[in-house]
């Protein structure tokens, strides 16, 4: 029986992030094997990875979303459905305005990462009307309550929940997924608050450790040619 639910991983890094080694073809191959319906490529401070994966995608009905995880002065912000890069270090509030101005969706990723309240959390109330979703399940959170607190925050603000593996390596992709009914597009599901999430953090320690190794290799052994 054909499923009536779409399954997306909305936080994936490619080799265009200096802490990841996932090539576009590898990402698509694993996503197909996992029977995902879509992915968002959210590299650090660049949309090049998203554009590369989208160009490589030949599967009809499989959606590749061009995104970016932007480093701001108040924590990271994810923009989905971008067609223009937002510069690293952009002010938190300005980054959100730029995403909205360019027709994208604003997602606040892992707001309680490492068990600490990120600077962005204290600023969310001022921009809650501009936020489309809070990432309520991130595959690289060290402790389960980091995700549960994010979900409570989304419920408090009446904002949609999303999930993303935060994958940097093949074994992480698809570990956390955003689900919604097939009658909706992702944009509709988020705006109507019809998404639900599931996932695991079992690969968090291994993934983060390998990312550190890869980043050091990129920065020191490749003369800083890694992209971040």
What is the pLDDT, as a whole number, of residue 214? 85
Q: Please report the DSSP string for the chain in residue order.
A: ---SEEEEEEEE--TTSTT----HHHHHHHHHHTT-SEEEEEEET-SHHHHHHHHH---TT-EEEEEEEEEEBTEEEEEES-SS---TT--HHHHHHHHHHTT-EEEE--TTGGGS--HHHHHHHHHGGG--EEEEEETT-SSHHHHHHHHHHHHHHT-EEEEE--BSSTTTTTSEEEEEETTS-HHHHHHTT--EEEE--TTHHHHHHHHHHHHHIIIIISTT-S--
Q: What is the mean pLDDT of the chain?
A: 92
pLDDT tens by residue, 121-146: 778 888 999 999 999 999 999 999 99
Residues of the chain falling short of pLDDT 70: 1-2, 114-120, 221-228
How many residues are there in the chain?
A: 228
What domains sit in the chain, N to C, each tagged with a CATH number? 5-221 (3.20.20.140)
What is the pLDDT, as a whole number, of residue 224? 45
What is the pLDDT, as a whole number, of residue 109? 96
What is the pLDDT, as a whole number, of residue 226? 41
Give the predicted TM-score (pTM) of the model: 0.92
């Amino acid at each position: 029986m054909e499923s009536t639910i779409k399954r997306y991983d909305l936080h994936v890094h490619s080799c265009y992030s200096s802490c990841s080694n996932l090539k576009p073809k590898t990402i698509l191959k694993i996503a197909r094997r996992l029977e995902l319906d879509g992915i968002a490529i959210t590299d650090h401070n660049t949309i090049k990875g998203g554009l590369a994966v989208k160009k490589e995608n030949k599967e009809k009905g499989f959606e590749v979303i061009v995104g970016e995880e932007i480093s701001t002065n108040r924590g990271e912000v994810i923009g989905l459905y971008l067609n223009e890069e937002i510069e690293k270090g952009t002010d938190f509030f300005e980054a959100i305005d730029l995403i909205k101005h360019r027709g994208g969706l604003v997602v606040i990723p892992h707001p309680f990462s490492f068990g600490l309240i990120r600077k962005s959390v204290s600023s969310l109330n001022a921009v809650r009307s501009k936020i489309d979703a809070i990432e309520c399940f991130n595959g690289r959170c060290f402790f389960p309550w980091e995700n549960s607190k994010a979900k409570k925050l989304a419920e408090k603000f009446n904002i949609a929940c999303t999930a993303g593996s935060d994958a940097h390596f093949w074994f992480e992709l698809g570990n956390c997924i955003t689900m919604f009914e097939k009658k909706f597009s992702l944009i509709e599901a988020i705006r109507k608050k019809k998404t639900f999430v599931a996932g695991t953090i079992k690969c968090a320690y291994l993934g983060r450790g390998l990312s550190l190794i890869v980043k050091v290799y990129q920065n020191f052994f490749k003369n800083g040619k890694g992209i971040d």
